[in-house]
Amino acid sequence: MQSQPIDFHPPAEEAAAFLLPVTASLFADRADRFDALAVGHSLGDWLVFLGQLSRAQQSALNALPELPLPDVASLEQARVHGMPPLNVANCPAAWRDALRRIAGELAAQAPDTAASVLATLAAADDARLDQLADALLSGEPAAGDVAELPFVAAALQVVFTRLASQFDASQLQPLDAHGVCPCCGSPAVASVVRLGAAINNLRYLHCSLCNSEWNVARATCTTCDTDQQVALQELEGSKGAVRAETCDACKSYLKIVYQDKDPNVDPVADDLATLALDMLVNEAGYERSGPNLLLIGAYSG
Ligand SMILES: [Zn+2]
Ligand SMILES: [Zn+2]
């Protein structure tokens, strides 16, 4: 009897439902992307400054100790109720250390207006800083605080990214609301269509706060779930690495960036380098479904 080799095809690796942030390089990579996008850009100076801010975020993240995660009972309660494990209302006090470190590092590089805002933040007491954080995280910042908010947001991103990175993906579960982060409950800033063995061509939404990502089927509106009235818009002359996914059912949009068009795309940096695309789809009557926290406060008014 002749033996046949076993034709064994191991099952394709199951695509990850969640991608947790890689803290060693996340903000440094984003800084590099801001630098690259700034070249020849009409908002180049601003993008360069955001690169410096991202680099300061990486330093602040590197200096953060491990942070306490919610206890087992809280995690179980969140799981049973279909809630994300992190509650942004419980912001670790370490966020203020992150902010002061960012303010200190940026002070020397910042243009005059930003430098005076950073000096104000560096001198602010804990209560004032917590007031700014609460206002930002509750989505109700005061109009007079607009200049402070990108820096407050940057520091909050640092602590929530650290917290998110301490989870194991098995501790997360998909939420009913596709546009909301399964780790911290914040809205997505944009989607990324990824390259890579088990995740090739899959679309992941990227959290505006904690930098976690979660898989959602492509060509589905992440606000109202329809797959019928979704279209992609892009700027004339664009190479297709950044598009706006618009939905005619609910009139919302969110941007989507494609790693196969440019492997270095970043959902936060590429979003801010394509504000002209926001203007285009805003004028066509679509409203953005999730904020970019480095531009928070700029949407109103
Ligand atoms: Zn999140
Ligand atoms: Zn929709």
The pLDDT score that the predictor gives to residue 139 is 83
92 and 203 both lie in a single domain: no
153 and 186 both lie in a single domain: no
The pLDDT score that the predictor gives to residue 301 is 32
The pLDDT score that the predictor gives to residue 45 is 95
Question: Which of 122, 143, 170 represents a domain boundary (last residue)?
Answer: 170
The pLDDT score that the predictor gives to residue 297 is 59
Residue 1 lies in a domain: no
How many angstroms is it from 138 CA to the middle of ligand 2? 23
Residue 6 lies in a domain: no
Residue 113 lies in a domain: yes
104 and 177 both lie in a single domain: no
164 and 183 both lie in a single domain: no
Number of domains composing the chain: 2
155 and 179 both lie in a single domain: no
How many angstroms is it from 242 CA to the middle of ligand 2? 19
**Closest-approaching ligand to the CA atom of 251:** 2
The pLDDT score that the predictor gives to residue 2 is 52
List the CATH number of the domain containing 52. Answer: 3.90.1670.10
The pLDDT score that the predictor gives to residue 75 is 94
Long-range contacts of 140-148 (CB under 8 A, 24+ apart): 141/296, 141/297, 143/297, 143/300, 143/301, 145/297, 146/297, 146/298, 147/113, 147/117, 148/117, 148/120, 148/121
How many angstroms is it from 237 CA to the middle of ligand 1? 33
Query: Alpha carbon of 101 to those of 31, 105, 165, 179: distances in Å?
Result: 17, 6, 20, 31
| Containing structural domain, residue 43 | 18-170
How many angstroms is it from 229 CA to the middle of ligand 2? 8
Question: Which of 114, 146, 170 represents a domain boundary (last residue)?
Answer: 170
User: Residue 158: CB partners within 8 Å, gap ≥ 6?
Assistant: 27, 57, 60, 61, 64, 95, 98, 102
Weakly modelled stretches of the chain, pLDDT under 70:
1-13, 297-301
219 and 287 both lie in a single domain: yes
The pLDDT score that the predictor gives to residue 47 is 96
Question: Which of 117, 140, 170 represents a domain boundary (last residue)?
Answer: 170
**Closest-approaching ligand to the CA atom of 165:** 1
Residue 12 lies in a domain: no
Residue 285 lies in a domain: yes
100 and 181 both lie in a single domain: no
The pLDDT score that the predictor gives to residue 192 is 97
Residue 9 lies in a domain: no
The pLDDT score that the predictor gives to residue 188 is 97
Residue 265 lies in a domain: yes
**Closest-approaching ligand to the CA atom of 186:** 1
The pLDDT score that the predictor gives to residue 199 is 83
Residue 7 lies in a domain: no
Asked if residue 61 lies in contact with residue 158, where contact means CB atoms within 8 angstroms, the answer is yes
How many angstroms is it from 39 CA to the middle of ligand 1? 30
180 and 197 both lie in a single domain: yes
Instruction: Give tens-digit pLDDT for 26-78.
Output: 999 999 999 999 999 999 999 999 999 999 999 999 999 999 999 999 999 99
How many angstroms is it from 189 CA to the middle of ligand 1? 10
